[in-house]
Amino acid sequence: MSLNTNIGGIELDNCICNGSGALCKDRDELINLNNSRTGAVITKTSTKDLRVGNPEPRYFDNEMLSINSMGLPNNGLQFYLESAKSITAKPYIVSISGFYIDEEPSLITYIQNKYPHVTGLELNMSCPNLVGKPQIAYDFEQFDNILTKIYEVNDCSIPIGLKLPPYFDMMHFDEATEIINKYPINFLTCINGLGNGMYVDLENESTIIKPKNGFGGIGGPCVKPIGLANTHQFYTKTKCDIFGCGGVSTGSDAFEYILCGASGVQVATQLVKEGTDCFSRINCELKQIMINKNYECLDDFKGKLNYIN
Ligand code: DHB
């Protein structure tokens, strides 16, 4: 019984990984992930320069959801590239803001040549918390232009993935896949948080986070149906491998994502709540479901979702 997988050319011993943003910003957090059972270490989304992010409180969670407006606090791309040397136990995927890549697309060649310990890149096309900036992948023209630039100036031998926002309309799935299918993208991460949601604190009759008057990206259990739908749409419409993300907190959540076509899953809100013990717990729960169903590997059920008729 094995949970090994290959996502866009990246070999993982365990298909359960951390989601970018959760406990992956500072050195001690990255080392903790290296020593945990996560299948890969994925970094906080990085920008050119260090950012402190938005004012606090900027994160809240309960049993149903998380809401955040972190504002991209990170130590700058160079920090995450240099940290590659410390991640010895598993693949290391550096997340980079799509806006930074738009400004300096040749960065990818630089990273490939200078930092061979970096296993892959996840380009974040969907941060909802930057004041005055759109989510790139909702602006199809800008999305296409950035990808054109990337593949014009780099040979892209390093595996490249895109972190996508959730789509809700069939026309938008079609438009996004038409663009994605023009480029040799290795993997997609579906989905980032649902942008600009709001949580209301009933007792105080107020918002619960400070930035943007309480608007923030929503994750956690309530977004799973949207994550599953997006995973299945892109699984059927593209050739990219897929990291399912959004509301994974148990082995059955992971099983559902893989059934919808994911080759692995990312855990974010639950990682913040539980710490890195979540990886071995979810791994064991998924294996138990596979034993009960007589499955030996992910390929036995990956993408094999039944449609009732
Ligand atoms: C942040 C939130 C996101 O959902 C994301 O994709 C990137 C950054 C943030 O606010 O830090």
pLDDT in tens, 5-15: 999 999 999 99
The arithmetic mean of pLDDT across residues 203-207, rounded, is 98
Cα 237 off chain centre by: 19
Alpha helical stretches, state H, 18-73? 27-34
Ligand 1 atom showing the smallest separation from residue 193 Cα: 4
Residue 285 has pLDDT above 90, yes or no: yes
The arithmetic mean of pLDDT across residues 292-307, rounded, is 98
Per-residue pLDDT, 130: 87
Could you tell me the distance, in angstroms and rounded to a whole number, from the CA of residue 245 to the centre of ligand 1?
Answer: 14
Ligand 1 atom showing the smallest separation from residue 73 Cα: 11
**pLDDT > 90: percent of the chain:** 97
- Positive/negative CA dihedral, 247, 250, 252, 254: positive
Closest by alpha carbon to 192, among 213, 161, 149, 150? 161
Q: By the 8 A CB rule, do 216 and 84 touch?
A: no
Distance CA 45, CA 99 (A): 11
Distance CA 211, CA 112 (A): 36
| Per-residue exposure over 196-211, b if at least 16 CB sit within 10 Å of its own CB, e if not | ebebeeeeeeebbbeb
Nearest residue by C-alpha to atom 6 in ligand 1: 127
Catalytic residue, chosen from 17, 127, 222, 245, is: 127
Ligand 1 atom showing the smallest separation from residue 70 Cα: 10
The arithmetic mean of pLDDT across residues 293-309, rounded, is 97
Could you tell me the distance, in angstroms and rounded to a whole number, from the CA of residue 79 to the centre of ligand 1?
Answer: 18
**pLDDT > 70: percent of the chain:** 100
Instruction: Give 103-142 pLDDT, tens digit per residue.
Output: 999 999 999 999 999 999 999 999 989 888 889 999 999 9
Nearest residue by C-alpha to atom 2 in ligand 1: 127
Distance CA 253, CA 222 (A): 12
Q: Which architecture, in CATH terms, is 5-299?
A: Alpha-Beta Barrel (3.20)
Residue 255 has pLDDT above 90, yes or no: yes
Instruction: Give 53-90 pLDDT, tens digit per residue.
Output: 999 999 999 999 999 999 999 999 999 999 999 999 99
Could you tell me the distance, in angstroms and rounded to a whole number, from the CA of residue 291 to the centre of ligand 1?
Answer: 36
Is 127 tagged catalytic?
A: yes
Q: By the 8 A CB rule, do 164 and 123 touch?
A: no
Per-residue pLDDT, 37: 98
Average pLDDT, the chain: 98
Q: Which residue has the tokens 């997006």?
A: 230
Cα 102 off chain centre by: 19
Instruction: Report whether residue 192 contacts ligand 1, using a CB cutoff of 6 Å.
Output: yes
* Residues pairing with 162 in the sheet: 123, 188
Instruction: Give 5-43 pLDDT, tens digit per residue.
Output: 999 999 999 999 999 999 999 999 999 999 999 999 999
Could you tell me the distance, in angstroms and rounded to a whole number, from the CA of residue 14 to the centre of ligand 1?
Answer: 25
Closest by alpha carbon to 282, among 239, 245, 304, 253? 253
Instruction: Give 146-164 pLDDT, tens digit per residue.
Output: 999 999 999 999 999 999 9
The arithmetic mean of pLDDT across residues 161-174, rounded, is 98
Ligand 1 pocket test target in 70, 226, 272 with most atoms within 8 Å of CB = 70
Ligand 1 atom showing the smallest separation from residue 68 Cα: 10
Please tell me the pTM assigned to this model.
0.98
Instruction: Report whether residue 129 contacts ligand 1, using a CB cutoff of 6 Å.
Output: yes
Instruction: Report whether residue 195 contacts ligand 1, using a CB cutoff of 6 Å.
Output: no
Domain coordinates of the chain in residue numbers?
A: 5-299
Torsion of CA 230, 235, 241, 242, to 10 degrees: 20
